[in-house]
Structure 1
Amino acid sequence: MPELSALAWSALAVGAVAVGVSKTALPGVNTLAIALFAAVLPARASTGALLLLLIVGDAFALWVHRRHARLRALLPLIPAVLAGLVLGSVFLAFASDTGTRRVIGAILLLVIGVTLWRRRRAAAEEAQTGRIAAAAYGTLGGFTTMVANAGGPVMTMYFLAAKFPMRAFLGTTAWFFAGINLAKLPFSIGLGIIDVPTVLMDLLLVPGVVAGAFIGRALLDRMDQRTFERIVIVLTIAGALYLLLG
């Protein structure tokens, strides 16, 4: 395992809790985990370490929200997401860490703006552009999740634009990211992002993910739809700004 100070381990523990909360209640909180892991670990190592914890969080998200998913809504996204994963893998093999984060931050801000604009349009117009939106969001989501585990904000905006109820939103995204994160494993192992020291470190952080998952479940019972959407949008904007300026 990497030799880290007590402060560094504390930051990683907080990030692990944030992963759990993001999986069961507030998807945007995952950006805090991205920031903390990137601050403590080398960029590539942070991506691999966080991916394994996200997979643990996915298991809890499925346990809590599995009955509320709209799985048919995921079918149009699959080809575009797979294409995004491949593009992300190629990009990750050549791009610098700083350039990558800024590109993703700029993309997220653009996605947020387009999503909020689309939500104001008539339902008929949204239906006509559904396939285009699925292709665009899916490709960007696959790309950003492969490069920096930052696909959450992109797909959050997609499902918000679709006006999913809170529970359906969380159930559908739970299945989506469970599949995506598992699909990323071969790419990450092949790129050398995940290794034995990474696994050993994550074993110590798993309890934080578990605690965060239960905290998130408790928070969810206290939120209504409007509050949920506002918090998700604010957290997504904060995450985009962090990636762009950090």
Structure 2
Amino acid sequence: MFDPTHLLVFGLWLVGGFVSGVSGIGGAMVAVPAAAMFIPMHELIPLSCILNVVMDGCIAAAHFRHCRVSALWPMLAGSLPGAFVGLFILKFVPGAILQGAVGALLLYYVYWQRTFRVTEVHRESWSHGGAAGFGAGLLGTAISFDGPPVGAYGLYVGWSPRTFLGTLGVFFVIRGTMTCVLQAGAGLYTSAVIEYAMYGIPATMLGTLCAFPITRHVNQDTFRRVLLAIILLAGVVCLVRSLF
């Protein structure tokens, strides 16, 4: 049965899909904190994981030819044990703590974006790639934000924007599918989650596809500043709500 929350899910992931279509990451960081005001975290996180796979699938399809396949293996190898740790956290940690963790990560992400600078390009390695994959698997499964660890790795090794989008798009699809399988096996996909997903999936696809034709016309610096301001506000809201 339709209720206003379904319309909220559609609208938030329409915006989230657009944000990810422009920047490659950040869609869930925009949608999840707002949705957390209306949807319990233990339903919202599995929902976001489903929609992330759809969102990343659209991005991967558009930039697949730029994917660095050799870089995927260490990240995927690290993401599997990370996903099991994240599943344990999601199942047994209270929703208020999960929401506080989301807020803290969002604030740290803004800080990292404002302070992190690449002074030299490094070679890809199994150790660094595996560590980034482990972090993505843990965070992606526990709170649905897998972007920061592998995003930092992509900057660390100096991927070009298209290589960044193609490689991370494919990685997120594979890693996210792995998470969805684990969450489904743990019984986290309730009828409410599936019902929300039926509204979120077309919204995510529409938002992501709408971003592609205008990406080259968007001022990336301005877009980045606005996005960071939104993420900062969302992080503060999540932290405050987790305390009351």
- Name the TM-score, length of structure 1 as normaliser: 0.80
Q: Which residue of 1 aligns with 2:10?
A: 13
Q: CA deviation at 1:112?
A: 6.7
Q: Which residue of 2 aligns with 1:194?
A: 189
Does the CA-based 8 Å contact 1:145-1:151 persist in structure 2? yes
Q: CA deviation at 1:107?
A: 5.1
Distance 1:105 1:133 in 2: 26
Backbone CA RMSD of aligned residues: 3.1
Q: CA deviation at 1:177?
A: 0.7
Distance 1:234 1:18 in 2: 15
Unaligned runs of 5+ in 1: none
Does the CA-based 8 Å contact 1:12-1:40 persist in structure 2? no
In the alignment, which of 214, 217, 220 is matched to residue 212 of structure 2? 217
Q: CA deviation at 1:10?
A: 3.1
Does the CA-based 8 Å contact 1:13-1:205 persist in structure 2? yes
**For residues 166 and 236 of structure 1, do their structure 2 counterparts lie closer, same or farther at Cα, with a shift above 3 Å needed?**
farther
> Helix, strand or coil: the match of 1:39?
coil
Distance 2:158 2:223 in 1: 10
Q: CA deviation at 1:98?
A: 2.1
Does the CA-based 8 Å contact 2:86-2:142 persist in structure 1? yes
Does the CA-based 8 Å contact 1:28-1:236 persist in structure 2? no
Distance 1:58 1:21 in 2: 11
Distance 1:133 1:245 in 2: 34
> Helix, strand or coil: the match of 2:217?
coil
Does the CA-based 8 Å contact 1:16-1:208 persist in structure 2? yes
**For residues 192 and 39 of structure 1, do their structure 2 counterparts lie closer, same or farther at Cα, with a shift above 3 Å needed?**
farther
> Helix, strand or coil: the match of 1:163?
coil
Does the CA-based 8 Å contact 1:115-1:158 persist in structure 2? no
The reply to whether residue 144 of structure 1 matches residue 142 of structure 2 is: no
Q: Which residue of 2 aligns with 1:51?
A: 49
The reply to whether residue 178 of structure 1 matches residue 173 of structure 2 is: yes
Does the CA-based 8 Å contact 2:46-2:189 persist in structure 1? yes
Alignment-mate amino acid for residue 11 of structure 1: L
The reply to whether residue 227 of structure 1 matches residue 226 of structure 2 is: no
> Helix, strand or coil: the match of 2:9?
helix
Report sequence identity in percent: 20
Alignment-mate amino acid for residue 218 of structure 1: P
